[in-house]
Amino acid sequence: MYSIGIDLGGTSAQLVAVKKGKILFQTSIAVRDNSSLRYILGDLSSCIDKFSITRSEPLVSIGIAFPSIVDGPNNKILSRYVKYPDALDFDLESWAKIKFGAALFLENDARAALIGEYHFGLAKGYENSCLLTLGTGIGSAIMLDGKLLRGSNQLAGNLLGHTIIQYEGGKCNCNGIGCAESEGSGWWLNNKYHEINRGDLCGQGFKALLEPENVGLPVFREILAQLIKVYKTIIINAVHCYDPEIIILGGGIAEGMNTYIPVFQEAIEQHCWISPGAVKIIKSSLGIYAGAIGAACLYLNKDSKAPSNAI
Ligand SMILES: [Zn+2]
């Protein structure tokens, strides 16, 4: 028995197959059209079919990590996202059952990534952790005392990117003002690149700020300084709100950010009301596959729709 996990992003989807603590297969698929879930589901189905032909054992569950508010325990997507706006109308449980005879599990993408790190990555052994996905947006997930934080509307721990860090700041896509995302995120960075007539750098994220030809220029230094300040603020807020032992940084924009981990660590030592060294910041060890790996592990935290010895 094995399990499939899918992390459904707006531009690419990651798919993994997992069995007994081992990753059997992993791949990344470009999203051709994210105006509807039907296109990517077709591509993912073909990919699962091709892989399952090579296995003599059954596929027991499919987990999907989705970039939206998700009620994991009840397998429901709760909010429409700008990508895949029809996801709420799809009966994904029937898709998994009819097409593959598998149980389906849904989860928010940041929570799934933290589950992935907990079972397969650097969060193993830590019962109190925070994961930040620094990508186009800023996602977050919290585990406290070994349990994912959820809250009454599935928002708890998920929206550090939409905590207000500048109350007279910029307008955010959540309708908030001065959210962490609207002050410094992947989409904020792309807006900045356009403002300085360097739209060609959009999509290159943080790394472009550190390129030798850019790093010395005041305009890039200013952008970089704001981004770092925003991430420091989120990290300090995360420590004061949730008291984690570790903070894991993931997401596309985190690539190239390794050199700033000591800076974030220093910010904790300087500004947090805790003992020195009490919180460790680390970079995701599973990279872009963390969400998909966590999605493949989802049923381990749920009811007994699938046997617990499959992974
Ligand atoms: Zn916001």
pLDDT per position as a tens digit, 281-302: 999 999 999 999 999 999 886 5
Residue 144: strand, helix, or coil: strand
Give residue 263 CA to ligand 1 midpoint distance, Å.
25
Give residue 290 CA to ligand 1 midpoint distance, Å.
24
pLDDT, tens digit, 9 for 90 and up, residues 33-60: 888 898 999 999 999 999 999 999 999 9
- Rounded to 10 deg, the angle between the 186-195 and 218-242 helix axes is 160
**Residue 143 pLDDT more than 90?**
yes
Q: Is the pTM of this model over 0.85?
A: yes
Give residue 119 CA to ligand 1 midpoint distance, Å.
30
Residues with Cβ within 8 Å of 273's Cβ and at least 6 positions away in sequence, in order, are 240
**Residue 103 pLDDT more than 80?**
yes
Give residue 161 CA to ligand 1 midpoint distance, Å.
7
Give residue 230 CA to ligand 1 midpoint distance, Å.
13
The CB density around residue 130, as the number of other CB atoms within 10 Å, is 31
Fold of the 125-284 domain: Nucleotidyltransferase; domain 5 (3.30.420)
Give residue 232 CA to ligand 1 midpoint distance, Å.
17
CATH homologous superfamily, domain 2-113+289-301: ATPase, nucleotide binding domain (3.30.420.40)
Give residue 177 CA to ligand 1 midpoint distance, Å.
7
pLDDT at 292: 97
Q: How far is CA 141 from the centre of its chain?
A: 8
Residues of the chain with CATH 3.30.420.40: 2-113+289-301, 125-284
Of the candidates 173, 68, 182, 185, which has an alpha carbon nearest to the alpha carbon of residue 136?
185
Residue range 136-164: mean pLDDT, rounded: 95
Give residue 140 CA to ligand 1 midpoint distance, Å.
13
Give residue 195 CA to ligand 1 midpoint distance, Å.
21
Give residue 173 CA to ligand 1 midpoint distance, Å.
6
